[in-house]
Amino acid sequence: MTQEAPRHPLPPFTAETAREKVRLAEDGWNSRDAAKVTLAYTPDSKWRNRAEFPQGRVEIEAFLTRKWNKELNYRLIKELWAFGGNRIAVRYAYEYHDDSGNWFRAYGNENWEFDENGYMAQRHASINEMPISETERKFHWPLGRRPDDHPGLSDLNL
């Protein structure tokens, strides 16, 4: 449990508050501001992300900084999959290019567990990615928050 101010919405989640929590997470990650994003996690948060297992805000911030320095023009869409109590499951896709201009789309699922103050205590991610051509890209909004009228994953048949 964190001693910081509550981070709304708080568990137990309803369909509405779970969707809100997912969108807030998407917005944060699309900011690509590792220091800001890290504040959504408990100070001792535990992650599994591919072959990395960062623990705590310092390691998470370092992980995100490395990620967004490598994954350029990163754009992400998250979608609620399931929820119950203090847990949320999401599916997501993101697109980025590397420093050679090669584009990729990654698909994944995450399981989240929150403390009573709304901070994420655990994040377990499973991710697959594939190269795509620039013409296959589907995420074209300006960098930052996905516009409210931009299609979601289901709308894009992802």
Query: Please, what is the average pLDDT of the chain?
Result: 96
Return the ∠ at Cα 61 (arms to 57 and 65), rounded to 5°.
175
| pLDDT of 1 over the 90 cut | no
Reported as a single tens digit per residue, the pLDDT across 106-126 is 999 999 999 999 999 999 999
Count how many Cα atoms sit within 13 Å of the Cα of residue 66 in the half-sphere of its side chain.
Answer: 8
In terms of Cβ atoms closer than 10 Å to its own Cβ (0-12, 13-18, 19+), residue 25 is buried
Which of 107, 67, 87 lies closest to 17 in space, CA to CA? 87
Reported as a single tens digit per residue, the pLDDT across 58-83 is 999 999 999 999 999 999 999 999 99
Query: What are the boundaries of each domain within the chain?
Result: 15-136
| pLDDT of 95 over the 80 cut | yes
Which of 88, 84, 65, 68 lies closest to 76 in space, CA to CA? 68
Rounded average pLDDT over 16-43: 98
Confidence grade of residue 129 (pLDDT, cut at 50, 70, 90) = very high
| pLDDT of 147 over the 60 cut | yes
Looking at residue 148, the DSSP 8-state letter turns out to be: T
Q: What is the pTM of this model?
A: 0.95
- Rg of the chain taking only CA atoms, in angstroms: 15
Confidence grade of residue 4 (pLDDT, cut at 50, 70, 90) = confident
CATH of 15-136, one of 3.40.1350.10, 3.30.70.360, 3.20.80.10, 3.10.450.50: 3.10.450.50
What does the block give as tokens for 75?
A: 């754009």
Write the CB contacts of 69 (distance below 8 Å, at least 6 apart in sequence).
Answer: none
